[in-house]
Amino acid sequence: MSFLFKLLFLYFWLYWMNLSSIFVTSKSRGGPGNVISGTVFVNGTASIGKTDENFICATVDWWPPDKCDYGTCSWGKASLLNLDLSNPILLNAIKAFSPLKIRMGGTLQDKVIYETKGDKNPCTPFIKNSSEMFGFSKGCLPMSRWDELNIFFKKAGAMVVFGLNALNGRSVGPDGSAMGAWNFSNAESLIRYTVNQGYTIHGWELGNELCGSGIGAKVAADQYAFDVINLQNIVQNIYKGFEVQPLIIAPGGFFDANWFTQFVQKTPKSLQVVTQHIYNLGAGNDNQLMNKILNPSYLDGGQQTFRGLQTILKNSATSAVAWVGEAGGAYNSGQNLVSNSFVYSFWYLDQLGMASSYDTKTYCRQSLIGGNYGLLDTTTFVPRPDYYSALLWHRLMGSNVLSTRFSGTTSVRAYAHCSKQSQGITLLLINLNATTTVQVRVSTESSGSHGRLNLQQEQEVPRINFTSMSRNFKPNGNSREEYHLTAKDGDLHSQNVVLNGKILILTSSGGIPSLEPVNMSMLDPIIVAPFSIVFSHIPNIKLPACK
């Protein structure tokens, strides 16, 4: 009996020690957090959307240095009127995209007067005035500055979209309703001058945030449609004989289903692009901003406006396509150390993936420079993390969008496009979890010899050691290229981004650093570390949608 008791005691002791060992191992072998498996399913039978080849776009605004929000003035000299166009970092940052779409416009564009020949009134900048709409007086764009802007953007290889002053000639009532028709004579003068100078404009956009209930002022849908038709007539007349004419773009405002439906119905042949603005994270001073960005359910809510606009376009006679004409996430200039830090790439890249999934052709980020959401630092012009996220998207994600879903955790956001660099695919994986590493398998849902691929799942806890990964050989049938983005020192508020273990910094001459991948075996899973972003270029997955 004593022997059996001792044997039973030994059995329970060994069982308990084994449980303790498992617990300790699970907590220690992978460092902080745990490791789970997931699968990204890519349906490559047909694309679900198609973006412009140059999907990435950034805005340059009109705000003067004394534009302030929540007691902070974050715009500096980032305005169209005072931006230092001689800065080499600015030039190199735009050139790196070859080309980058630039949308010139913003809140004050409807209060801008364009200098004209023989005008007797002085061409003065915006002056702060709290009694005026938006807190500033009317401002003037000198033609000498217009020349400088066009010369600079041509040198940088940018594709320029310019927002016209849609409030010109109207009176605004107490309720914000803009009465009367658009006086287009000033805009017509600018367009004619632009053509006579030989400047290339990719598109002319009418108005800023005047649709629906408007911001500061609002224009009825039928009147706006009438104004757009006038703009089309002006452009067709001035550009008569040109092989390629600029796009007619409008309304550049927040999505309102009823207003947009009426507007699109009344502009079936006069409009090429319908633009909406997105600030779905709320106010820039919201203390829950970080939590919203890291909440998958909150991010999912962003689908509504994309879906709504596409429904309107598909149910109308128009051939116009959808753009996001301005998107800063958090309005009123964003939030310092959030919208200009690494964490914002989670929101930004998720928006790019979501927008393209709904056949959005172009996505313009507010802003290239200025505010707390600029891709470039307002003072130094040094790129912030979102700049590199945008550049990697631009270089890796092709036009054809693939249906993608992820299984294993809701914390991973997954998107897939046909690759820009090969006939394969590029995956974008975003891990919103602070402690969980995800080993990702890829499964395609089309037939054929290259149609299905399952990356083997490692049994050991993955440790990403970039120094041991090969950077020097070109990918072949057994390898893929990966770009792992993390925050410096793991701090989501950091304004420095780490690519494959190396901090990205400008060259000594102010040039954009090379963005080199690491090469991985196709037999290994894709390891997505906590709070990280991974682009994975897989050239040997050949899908029908990518041929």
pLDDT tens figures, 236-258: 999 999 999 999 999 999 999 99
Catalytic residue among 115, 209, 481, 482: 209
Contact 204, 246 (CB under 8 A): yes
Q: What is the tens place of the pLDDT at every residue in 411-445?
A: 999 999 999 999 999 999 999 999 999 999 999 97
Output the pLDDT for position 137.
98
Tell me how far apart the terminal alpha carbons of the chain are, to the nearest angstrom. 76
Output the pLDDT for position 456.
44
Angle subtended by helix axes 303-314 and 344-357, to nearest 10: 20
Q: Which amino acid is at 316?
A: S
Output the pLDDT for position 18.
37
Contact 366, 348 (CB under 8 A): no
Q: Is the preceding omega at residue 99 within 30 degrees of 0, hence cis? A: yes
Contact 339, 283 (CB under 8 A): no
Q: What is the tens place of the pLDDT at every residue in 93-103?
A: 999 999 999 99
Catalytic residue among 188, 205, 326, 482: 326
Alpha carbon distance 21, 29 (integer Å): 11
Is 188 among the residues known to form the active site?
no
Q: Which residue's entry shows tokens 């020949």?
A: 117
DSSP 546: G
- 11: number of Cβ within 10 Å: 10
Output the pLDDT for position 9.
41
Helix, strand and coil content of the chain, in percent to the nearest 5, comes to 30, 25, 45
Q: Is 357 helix (H, G, I), strand (E, B) or coil?
A: helix
Alpha carbon distance 349, 327 (integer Å): 12
Output the pLDDT for position 474.
56
DSSP 466: G
Is 458 among the residues known to form the active site?
no
Query: What contacts 80, CB < 8 A, 6 or more positions away?
Result: 60, 61, 62, 104, 141, 145, 149
Nearest to 187 by CA among 210, 164, 163: 164
Residue 29 tokens read as 């072998």
- Cα 55 vs. chain centroid, distance in angstroms? 9
Contact 466, 518 (CB under 8 A): yes
* CATH architecture for residues 51-399: Alpha-Beta Barrel (3.20)
Contact 146, 80 (CB under 8 A): no
Q: How far is CA 358 from CA 241, 262, 265, in A?
A: 35, 21, 20
Task: Give the residue ranges of the chain where pLDDT is below 70.
Answer: 1-32, 446-463, 467-476
Alpha carbon distance 220, 399 (integer Å): 35
Q: What is the tens place of the pLDDT at every residue in 433-442?
A: 999 999 999 9
Report the phi/psi class of residue 175: left, alpha or beta, with left for phi > 0 and alpha for psi in -120 to 50: alpha
Q: What is the 3-state secondary structure (H, E, C) of 145-209?
A: HHHHHHHHHHHHCCEEEEEECCCCCCEECCCCEEECCCCCHHHHHHHHHHHHCCCCCCEEEECCC
Fold of 34-47+404-446+476-546: Immunoglobulin-like (2.60.40)
Q: How far is CA 4 from CA 9, 309, 493, in A?
A: 9, 75, 61
Domain boundaries, the chain: 34-47+404-446+476-546, 51-399
